[in-house]
């Protein structure tokens, strides 16, 4: 007896997995850059090829069937294998032109990357750089980016990381705000000062308290998940805020509030997938970033 060989399209499997992970056809279609009818047709074709019902409609929701649930882990394994093939192929590329994707926090993307990109244009004008300004940790293993600039050390064995000199984080305020409130001579004088803070900023309060700046969460009257938005709020005098010294020094309206305070240390890591280091264009960009971020700041 000969087993039936099922012929299916990998794009259909991608459509199925995206729908499972995103929770709806519309969200999956957006993630894959497809129209919803196209994605629906791919799933229907996969169901026909497999002879299985993968989803059931319950009201307006899609619910994974038992058969679909058993398929999910196997499709994830297939996706991981496809990603490894893509990484291996990209790693063999010796072209010094083409696309390189860099992900970093929005503040690094806006203030620290542009001079490096200008230098890159002189060295390798054929390289196109896509900057993904994100404060989340993108997955290099899934090829969401080729190089990441991060403030935490990666722990995956397939990632390589180069630590650059740490950044100093200090308290800054607009000169106009300090003209109104006065320029404090000591950390204790900031106990009632208004601050601009960040979502889930409890660790920042602890860092400031450890340096004698006895603020509480109530001092943070404006909260954001964007470092660039925080800088602009501080620049416009809404409150004091912490930021990288090398960025604040580029903004003439800002003053360091407590120059004698021990800085908060922010590590700087450049990260890439191990296999990508044999790619000439990615290696070139990585090395240029290492050179730029390794200079004294």
Tell me the per-residue pLDDT of 139-172, one tens digit each, with 9 for 90 and over. Answer: 666 667 889 998 888 877 778 888 989 999 999 9
User: What phi-psi label fits residue 33: left (phi over 0), alpha (psi between -120 and 50 degrees) or beta?
Assistant: left
Helix, strand, or coil here: 49? helix
pLDDT of residue 201: 72
Q: Taking the CA of residue 246 as centre, how many other CA atoms within 13 Å lie in the half-sphere pointing to its CB?
A: 20
pLDDT of residue 2: 47
Q: What share of the chain is helix, strand, coil (3-state, %, to 5)?
A: 45, 25, 30
Mean pLDDT of the chain: 85
Higher pLDDT, 69 or 208: 208
Q: Can you tell me the mean pLDDT for 280-291?
A: 89
User: Can you tell me the distance from the alpha carbon of 44 to that of 54, in angstroms, rounded to the nearest whole number?
Assistant: 9
Q: Can you tell me the mean pLDDT for 273-296?
A: 82
Tokens 């297939």 -> residue: 78
At 229, the pLDDT band (50, 70, 90 cuts) reads: very high
Over the stretch 98-150, which tens digit does the pLDDT of each residue have?
899 999 999 999 999 999 999 999 888 999 999 998 756 556 666 678 899 98
DSSP H stretches of helix in the chain: 10-22, 25-32, 36-50, 66-91, 106-107, 113-123, 175-181, 202-210, 227-235, 245-248, 280-293
Over the stretch 31-57, which tens digit does the pLDDT of each residue have?
888 888 898 898 888 888 888 898 887
Give the count of beta carbons closer than 10 Å to the beta carbon of residue 213.
25
Q: What pairs with residue 148 in β-bridges?
A: 103, 271
């Amino acid at each position: 007896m000969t087993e039936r060989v099922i012929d299916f399209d990998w794009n259909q499997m991608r459509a199925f997995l995206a729908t499972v992970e995103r929770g709806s056809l519309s969200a999956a279609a957006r993630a894959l850059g497809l129209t919803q009818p196209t994605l629906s047709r791919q799933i229907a074709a996969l169901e026909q090829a497999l002879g299985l019902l993968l989803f059931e409609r319950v009201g307006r929701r899609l619910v994974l069937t038992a058969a679909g649930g058993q398929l999910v882990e196997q499709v994830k394994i297939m996706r991981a294998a496809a990603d490894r093939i893509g990484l291996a192929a990209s790693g063999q590329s010796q072209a010094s032109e083409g696309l390189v994707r860099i992900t970093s926090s929005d503040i690094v993307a806006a203030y620290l990357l542009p001079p490096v990109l200008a230098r890159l244009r002189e060295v390798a004008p054929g390289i196109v750089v896509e900057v993904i300004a994100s404060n989340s940790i993108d997955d290099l293993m899934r090829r969401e980016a080729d190089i990441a600039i991060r403030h935490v050390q990666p722990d995956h064995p397939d990632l390589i990381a180069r630590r650059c000199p740490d950044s100093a984080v200090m308290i800054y305020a607009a000169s106009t705000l300090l003209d109104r409130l006065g320029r404090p001579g000591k950390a204790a004088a900031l106990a009632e000062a208004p601050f601009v803070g960040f979502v889930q900023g409890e660790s920042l309060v602890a860092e400031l308290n450890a340096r004698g700046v006895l603020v509480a969460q109530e001092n943070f009257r404006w909260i954001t998940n964007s470092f660039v938005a925080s800088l602009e709020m501080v620049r416009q005098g809404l409150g004091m805020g912490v930021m990288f010294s090398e960025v604040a020094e580029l903004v003439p309206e800002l003053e360091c509030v407590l120059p004698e305070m021990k800085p908060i240390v922010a590590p700087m890591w450049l990260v890439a997938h191990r296999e990508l280091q044999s790619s000439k264009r990615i290696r070139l960009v990585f090395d240029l970033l290492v050179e730029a971020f390794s200079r004294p700041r």
